Amino acid sequence: MARWEPNARLRLVQAAIDLFGEQGFDSTTVAQIAERAGLTKTTFFRHFPDKREVLFTGQQEHGRLLTEGIEGAPASATPLEAVAAGLDALTASFTPEQHEFAPRLSAVIAGHPELRERLAFKELTLAATAADALRRRGVPDPTATLAADLGIRAFATAFAHWATPTNDQPFPTLARHSLEELRRAAAALT
């Protein structure tokens, strides 16, 4: 095998999702994932600390994009408008390849309690990141925390719709729609 392989990370993710779907998360080894991707175990471990993290790749990048979107919102933006700008930046980064394997990714995560727990942790981390970005904009708590929580709930809901095989709407559109639904629901609470 060549020392450097193009698209190694994406190939490992796709191989892992395929194998998890075929034989289950617990029955799949790192060696099998690397072999399916045409890579070595060493290459796998250059990209991921363990097989679970293959499914959650890009979390730091997601946090960065979310933060940049919130920070880049106009100064006049409301907290939810700033969160919407963050969601735009984040969801626009998802590729056609990710859309293609999103249904299988969702199925693998849904079928394994440890992976659902890891997904919940990712969402909590993104919400904390968004709340921090809002606070830096001068948004006080609990407004910053609530706006961030609504944003990440909208992200999760939009991802679930985006991952549906019959979906043909762009991820950013779905996220904006989900955030607006949550805004209306929160307003109806009063």
**Looking up tokens 């904009």, which residue turns up?**
137
CATH class of the structural domain 58-187 = mainly alpha
- The pLDDT, as a whole number, for residue 2 is 46
Helix H segments across 24-142? 30-37, 41-47, 59-71, 79-92, 96-110, 113-136
**Looking up tokens 């990370």, which residue turns up?**
9
- Is the pLDDT reported for residue 3 higher than 90? no
Domain ranges of the chain: 8-53, 58-187
Report the CATH fold assignment for 8-53: Arc Repressor Mutant, subunit A (1.10.10)
CB 77 within 8 A of CB 33: no
CB 150 within 8 A of CB 182: yes
Residue 52: CB atoms within 10 Å: 15
Write out pLDDT tens, residues 15-67: 999 999 899 999 999 999 999 999 999 999 999 999 999 999 888 999 999 99
Instruction: Output the six-digit token pair for 90.
Output: 């984040």
